[in-house]
Amino acid sequence: MDQISGETQGAACPHSPSRAERFKVNANGVDEAARAQSSIDGATEGGTAVLLVSHGSHSPSWRHMLLDVHGEVAADLLKLDGVSHVRSAFMEYTEPSIATQLKALDAAGAEKVIVIPLLLTISDHSFDDIPVICGQREDAEKAAELIEEQIEIYAPKAELEFAPLLDFTDLVEKNLARRIEQAVGSAQALRADEKSYGLVLVGYGSADFDEQWHAFFNNISRYAEANLGINRSVHAWCGHLVEYSRQPTLDALEAQLETHDRVIEVPIFVAFDEMFHEKIMGRAAERCSAPERVIYTNDSVLPDPEVGRWVVEIAGRMVAGGVTA
């Protein structure tokens, strides 16, 4: 397999490392800006809290894209009946952690916490890790694994309710349509073009939920083929399942180049991470046999105002008792 090298230069992109350099960490490795942006409380204590949870990343760009969502939705969330706290947490790698925020919400007297995971689809993180971290599932083996990774487990006094994931709606499909249109034009323009367009969707992948991830990406592909002027869409993984190799992405690009005039490569990641976007997906686009025929979007689901609207909508429905994850 073509493994990731120690190279630091990636393809040029709108979210370059210079953006990341604006976000500094202190001597303990804590992103102080992230800590400061992650908590907004209303005028009253107690009541209901909304906790936005994401995976976390060593990438400052990733962290701050998620915190941007927090900033976009906090005021609207605090307008919901009974909501008095809005906080964000990362599952691992950086503070504020889930345990840190749950402790703070206990201290503030929150009676109920609506947990909204900003995750694409089911994975071991959403199914196992987060419930165990929150003390909502007993799994000694998983707990030992989390503790070994220095992830704190904390069972809050407050009642916890978990929101559905982003695949609960067609948000990701509509997001893809916007990104493709920005890169190459509207579906109408693609259909009018004499050139044929193939699509390669690149995702992290999941060992434990491989069937569900393939189904999720196949649904996105069907949407693209039916609505976006794409002749054929395929997908490839680039996470631990393939040992962070760019080879599956490269293979998918080569296969599409054999049968299409142009190939669009789109990362299906919630946020931007330099390692994945530049060293894996970006390098695959650069090193394929015909890079001049590849259009690499080099972006992520975020930023997208529809994600914020989804967060406010699902929180409102859960406050009113109208949805179950």
Q: What is the pLDDT of residues 207-243, one digit of tens each?
A: 999 999 999 999 999 999 999 999 999 999 999 999 9
Residue 282 tokens, joined: 């970006």
Whether 55 is catalytic: yes
Q: How many CB atoms lie within 10 A of CB 44?
A: 12
Ranges of beta strands (E only) in 127-210 are 159-162, 197-203
Q: What angle do CA 70, 150, 37 make, to 5 degrees?
A: 20
Rounded CA separation 274/209 (Å): 25
Residue 147 tokens, joined: 């503790």
The pLDDT of residue 153 is above 90: yes
CATH top-level class of 171-296: alpha beta
Q: How many helices (H) and strands (E) does the chain have?
A: 14, 9
pLDDT digits (tens, 9 = 90+) for 7-26: 323 333 333 333 334 344 44
The pLDDT of residue 3 is above 50: no
The pLDDT of residue 107 is above 60: yes
Domain ranges of the chain: 17-168+304-319, 171-296
pLDDT at position 4 is 41
Average pLDDT of the residues of the chain? 88
pLDDT digits (tens, 9 = 90+) for 41-96: 665 667 999 999 999 888 888 999 999 999 999 999 999 999 999 999 999 998 99
Taking each helix axis from N to C end, the angle separating 210-227 and 171-184, rounded to the nearest 10 degrees, works out to 50
Which position has the token pair 């060992």? Answer: 207
pLDDT at position 43 is 54
Domains 17-168+304-319 and 171-296 share a fold: yes
User: Going by CATH, does the domain composed of 17-168+304-319 fall within 3.30.70.940?
Assistant: no
Q: Which of 15, 55, 85, 125 is catalytic?
A: 55
